[in-house]
Each structure stands twice: as C-alpha cells, then as structure tokens.
C-alpha cells in the first residue's frame, strides 16, 4: 500500500502517525512546503508576544521522518493530481504514485490587494518563518498596524501590544473575533485591549503602503495615513487548492469530504485547513481551519487510509486564548441567526469581569462563549460535539464551576 500525504502540517503529521499505528511497513511519502521540523503553528503567536522562544516551536523531533520510516519530499508543493492514473504531479514534472492520497495542504494567508506590499516589515502571519522575521523587525519598531480582527489579526495585535508597541487594529465588524463571539463578549475583549493601549478603527481598509525600503505608513481608502514601522496582515486564510482538479474532486471553499474524510474519489482523502465537511454546530458544510481540528481530522483520515473505517462526526469551531486579564474560550456557533430557532442563555458582563453565553437548539447545545472560568470549557465542547440532549436544567451549565456530577442522573 502506497500512501502519499500532501502537507506536513499537523494534519499530515497526525495522519502519518495514525497509519503507522496500524501498519508498520506501508510505504508513506510526505510532501511538505516547510523544511522546518513539524512544529506548533499556533505557538507562533507566543513567539511574537515574547512568552515562548522560537526554539520551542517543534513538536516532533527533527528525525521525525526517519523515526516514522517515511519518505519526505520537503521544500516543495504539489502541482497537480492525476486522478485517473493515481499520481501526484510535482513542479519539476516528477510523478508520485499513490494508492491512498491525503490532501492536507493547509491554507495560505488570504492575500491583500494593495500597493507597496513589497516594502520591508510587512508580514502575513502563518509560518514560523513569519514569526522569526517579525521578532527580528521588533528591534526599533514603535508603531504597528494590524489588518483584520479575526483570529490571526487579533493574536497579532495582542502579541505586538505585549511587546510594547503602539498598535492600531483595523477591523470590519464592530468588535474583534466576530466569527467566534457575540457582541457582549466582543466588546469585553475589545475593551480589554483598548485598556492596554490598542487603537481600533472600524470599517477602514488599506489600499497602499508607503515607505523608503521599509514600510513607514499605511494609507487607507479614505486617504488617511497611519504612520507605522511594521504591518501584520491577518485577513483570513484560503485553503491551498489550486492544484486540485476541480472537475474530479469536489472543491468548494475547501476540499469536500464525507464522514470518513474521503473525497468523491475513493482513496483520496482530505484533512486540516484545506478540508470542508459538515460543521456539527452549524449543521452545514464549513471550513474550520483550526489546529485541534486539523490534528483530529488528520488522525481519522490516516486510520481510514490504513484500512480501519472510522467515522468523524464533523468539524467544530473552537478556540481558547488568554488576553491580558481575560481568558476567552469559544465553541461552535455563538451567533445563530434569529430565525434559527435557538435559545440563548447569558450571564455576566463587564462589571462582573466574567461572561458565559450558551446557545441551544432544542435541547442540544450548539454554541458557547466563555470569558474567564474557562477551565471546564472542554465539557461544553464535548456536549456540543456529541450533540448530547441536555436533560438537566440548562442553567446548570451556566454555573461557573459546575461539577461534572451535575450532568449525571
């Protein structure tokens, strides 16, 4: 059995390990863009904010490929897939045969359309290399502009604030993390950042950067100049799918897969940021480009590839982060549309320095937002993921430190 895995992010790495769990001798080839040892991508936020050294990023040994007895093809990307002949096409026209293929090519930062992008100290934030360059650029930097209030932009702004820079964050919604949290929580988080020196501009877009070799200002659509020494662009990610033949493998925003992480083509799987599958909380197909998702999906894909049929219940949005004095944990769908027939319980707010919001559809939990007292958030995540009918009074889950025993009867 020849397995080929496109992508050496956490999805690809976990898939590899899962295949090896079941099959010590199968042929595994791993194609990866980055040559750095498998590392924790989310941790680059901590490298930027200074709490962790770059050297702590690897989460597998540098001999990972030898240990797993796989053939690494690093420093390159796949160019195409010949479905009929079951081959992966590389840029140098090499062809790699496969019996089972996993597309775990991840996602790239959504590119910004603006002039002056080639100036120095303008960064996206995706790879360990980005983090390394950003940390190097901190020397002498006093002001930064961050584009985007989503997960990447938010963490970039937080990291730069912690480093002592004056930061201006440009967001489209009224509050950051608008895909993950509701307005009350969003405002609490925004207030916390503003208290620590963040400047926020809402509804402002950048059309150009000015500078002399290095960036010196960002120019908005309205013509305002925002002086800065550093820019981080965090306007989302796009699944890397240009190399995939769309006619044969269904690709929407991401590569569409079923509950076995398999595409329309038998033997071809997808996992991680590139994959699109049913979202448990939303009840429709979605791309949840999140680290723990990629890890779990990679593992399940690997098990299926190795011949053990394992069903994956669907993906689920979830995030946890510490923002100065606030801890924030979000799961599922925190902002259902009004006609979705959901019931919302919420408690707390700015005055209490605590907030919890639970979203129910019928007797099933579909979303949760927690600010502080997050340590039991996994219980809520598990209830959402398993679609458990909640038979205890829903208010039970609102108590900050409810005991697990309250769920049993």
Partner 1 sequence: MKQVVVHPERCVGCMQCMLACATAHSRSLTLFAAVQETPQPKPRIHVGAGRFNEGFPNRCRHCDPAPCQMACLAGAIYRRDSVDTVMINPDRCINCASCAMACPYGVIRFHEDPLGPSGHAIAVKCDNCSARVAKGQTPACVEICKAGALTYEEMDAAMRRKTRAVAHSMSTDADPSAIPAGVALLKSIKQSELQLSGS
Partner 2 sequence: MFDPRESLSVTQDGDRLFAKAQQDGVETVWERHEAQQPQCGFCDMGLSCRICIMGPCRVDPFGEGPQTGVCGADADIIVARNLCRMIAAGAASHSDHGRDLVEVLAGVADGSAIGYKIRDEAKLRRLAEEYGVATEDKKPLVIAGELAQAMMEDYGMRQKAVKMVARAPKKRRAVWEKFGLTPRGIDRETSEMMHRTHMGVDNNWQSLLLQAMRNSLSDGWGGSMIATEVSDILFGVPTPRPTTVNAGVLKDDQVNIVVHGHNPVVSEMVSKACQDKALVDLAKEKGAGGINLVGVCCTGNELLMRRGIAMAGNHLMTELILSTGAVDMMIVDYQCIMPSLGKVAACYHTRMVSTSDKAKFPHMAHHEFHPHNAEKKAVEVVRSAVENYVNRGKVLIPVTSQEAVGGFSVEAILGALGGTPEPLIEAIKAGKIRGAVGIVGCNNPKIKHDYGHVTLTRRLIENDILVVDTGCVAVATAKAGFKVPAAADMAGPGLKAICNALGIPPVLHMGSCVDNVRILVLVSALADALGIDISDLPVAGSAPEWYSEKAVTIGTYFVASGVTTHLGPMPPITGSMNVVNLLTSGLKDVVGATFAVEPDPEKAAVFLRRTIEGKRKALGLDARSVD
Chain positions contacting partner 2, by CB under 8 A: 347-348, 352, 354, 393, 395, 398-400
> Under a CB-based contact definition with an 8 Å cutoff, are residues 117 and 240 in contact?
no
Strands 255-256 and 275-278: parallel
**Does 43 participate in binding partner 1 (rule CB under 8 A)?**
yes
Residue 142 in the binding site for partner 1 (CB under 8 A): no
Site track for partner 1 across 273-292, x = CB under 8 A: ------------------xx
Q: Which does 400 bind (CB under 5 to 8 A by kind): partner 2, partner 1, none?
A: partner 2
Measured between alpha carbons, how far is 68 from 397 in angstroms, rounded to an integer? 43
| 172 touches partner 1 by CB under 8 A | no
Which residue lies nearer to partner 1 by CB, 48 or 145?
Answer: 48
Residue 212 or 404 with smaller CB distance to partner 2: 404
Burial class (CB in 10 A: 0-12, 13-18, 19+), 338: exposed
374 touches partner 1 (CB under 8 A): yes
Q: Which run of H or of E encompasses 361? A: strand 354-361
In this structure, is the dihedral angle defined by the CA atoms of residues 268, 270, 275 and 276, taken in order, positive or negative?
Answer: positive
Q: List the one residue from 37, 236, 378, 400 that touches partner 1 (CB under 8 A).
A: 378
Query: Could you tell me the two tokens for 203?
Result: 């509804």
* Chain-centre distance for alpha carbon 165: 25
Residue 134 interacts with which of partner 1, partner 2, none, CB < 5 to 8 Å by class? none
- Structure token digits, residue 216: 């010196």
Residue 56 found at the interface with partner 1 (CB under 8 A): yes
Q: How far is the CB of 339 from partner 2 (least distance, A)?
A: 28
Give which of partner 2, partner 1, none residue 25 binds (C-beta under 5 to 8 Å, depending on kind).
Answer: none
Which range binds partner 1 by CB under 8 A, 55-63, 87-95, 213-221, 248-256? 55-63
Cβ proximity to partner 2: between 99 and 395 the closer is 395
Asked if residue 320 binds partner 1 (CB under 8 A), the reply is yes
Strand partners of residue 166: 143
Query: Which of the residues 254 through 273 are near partner 1 (CB under 8 A)?
Result: none
177 binds partner 1 (CB under 8 A): no
Backbone angles phi, psi at 282, to 5 degrees: -85, -25
| Among residues 55, 223, 266, 393, the one that binds partner 1 under rule CB under 8 A | 393
Residue number, 210 or 327, with CB nearest to partner 1 = 327
- 54 or 373, CB closer to partner 2? 373
Q: Minimal distance in Å, beta carbon 15 to partner 2?
A: 42
From 39-47, 70-78, 184-192, 341-349, give the range in contact with partner 1 by CB under 8 A: 39-47
| Separation between Cα atoms, residue 364 and residue 143, nearest integer Å | 46
Distance between start and end Cα atoms, the chain: 48
Is residue 353 near partner 1 by the rule CB under 8 A?
A: no
Q: Nearer to partner 2 by C-beta: 68 or 376?
A: 376
Establish if 212 lies at the interface with partner 1 (CB under 8 A).
no
Cβ–Cβ under 8 Å, residues 205 and 221: yes
- Location of structure tokens 């320095």: 353
Distance CA 16, CA 23 (A): 10
Is 375 a binder of partner 1 (CB under 8 A)?
A: yes
Q: 393-399: long-range contacts at Cβ-Cβ below 8 A with a sequence spacing of 24 or more?
A: 394/343, 394/345, 394/358, 394/360, 395/345, 397/358, 397/365, 398/345, 398/347, 398/356, 398/358
At 154, phi and psi to the nearest 5? -60, -50
Extract the runs of DSSP E, i.e. beta strands, from 47-97.
Answer: 71-74, 78-82, 87-90, 95-97
Give the C-alpha separation, 358 to 370, whole Å: 9
Q: Is 140 in the site for partner 1 (CB under 8 A)?
A: no
Residue 227 contacts partner 1 per CB under 8 A: no
For position 55 contacting partner 1 by CB under 8 A, the verdict is: no
The whole-angstrom separation of Cα 102 and Cα 31 is 10
CB 124 within 8 A of CB 216: no
Interacting residue ranges for partner 1, rule: CB under 8 A: 14, 40, 42-43, 46, 51-52, 56, 59-60, 291-292, 295-296, 299, 318-322, 327, 329, 331, 374-379, 381-382, 392-393, 401-406, 408-409
């Amino acid at each position: 059995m020849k397995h080929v895995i496109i992508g050496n992010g956490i999805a690809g790495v976990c898939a590899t390990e899962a295949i090896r769990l079941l099959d010590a001798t199968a042929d595994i080839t791993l194609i990866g863009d980055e040559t750095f040892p498998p590392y924790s991508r989310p941790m680059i936020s901590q490298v930027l904010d200074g709490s962790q050294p770059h050297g702590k990023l690897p989460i597998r040994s540098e001999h990972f490929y030898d240990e797993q007895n796989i053939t690494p093809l690093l420093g390159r990307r796949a160019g195409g897939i010949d479905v009929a002949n079951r081959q992966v096409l590389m840029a140098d026209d090499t062809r790699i045969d496969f019996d089972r293929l996993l597309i775990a090519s991840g996602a790239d930062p959504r590119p910004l359309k603006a002039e002056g992008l080639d100036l120095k100290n303008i960064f996206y934030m995706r790879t360990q290399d980005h983090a390394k360059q950003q940390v190097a650029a901190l020397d002498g930097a006093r002001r930064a502009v961050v584009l985007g209030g989503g997960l990447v932009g938010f963490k970039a702004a937080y990291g730069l604030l912690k480093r002592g820079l004056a930061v201006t964050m440009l967001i489209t919604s009224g509050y950051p993390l608008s895909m993950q949290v509701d307005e009350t929580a969003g405002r609490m988080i925004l207030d916390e950042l503003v208290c620590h020196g963040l400047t926020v501009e809402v509804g402002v877009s950048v059309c150009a950067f000015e500078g002399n070799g290095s960036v010196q200002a960002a120019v908005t659509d309205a013509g305002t100049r925002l002086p800065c020494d550093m820019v981080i662009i965090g306007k989302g990610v796009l699944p890397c799918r240009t190399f995939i033949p769309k006619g044969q493998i269904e690709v929407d925003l991401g590569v569409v897969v079923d509950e076995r992480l398999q595409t329309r083509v038998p033997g071809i799987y997808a996992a991680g940021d590139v994959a699109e599958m049913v979202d448990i909380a939303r009840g429709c197909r979605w791309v949840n480009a999140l680290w723990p998702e990629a890890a779990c999906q990679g593992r399940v894909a690997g098990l299926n590839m190795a011949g053990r049929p394992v069903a994956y219940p669907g993906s689920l949005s979830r995030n946890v982060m510490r923002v100065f004095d606030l801890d924030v944990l979000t799961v599922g769908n925190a902002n259902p549309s009004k006609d979705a027939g959901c019931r919302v319980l919420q408690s707390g707010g700015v005055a209490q320095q605590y907030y919890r919001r639970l979203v129910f559809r019928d007797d099933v939990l579909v979303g949760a937002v927690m600010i502080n007292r997050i340590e039991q958030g996994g219980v809520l995540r598990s209830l959402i993921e398993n679609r458990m009918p909640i038979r205890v009074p829903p208010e039970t889950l609102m108590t900050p430190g409810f005991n697990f025993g309250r769920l049993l009867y």
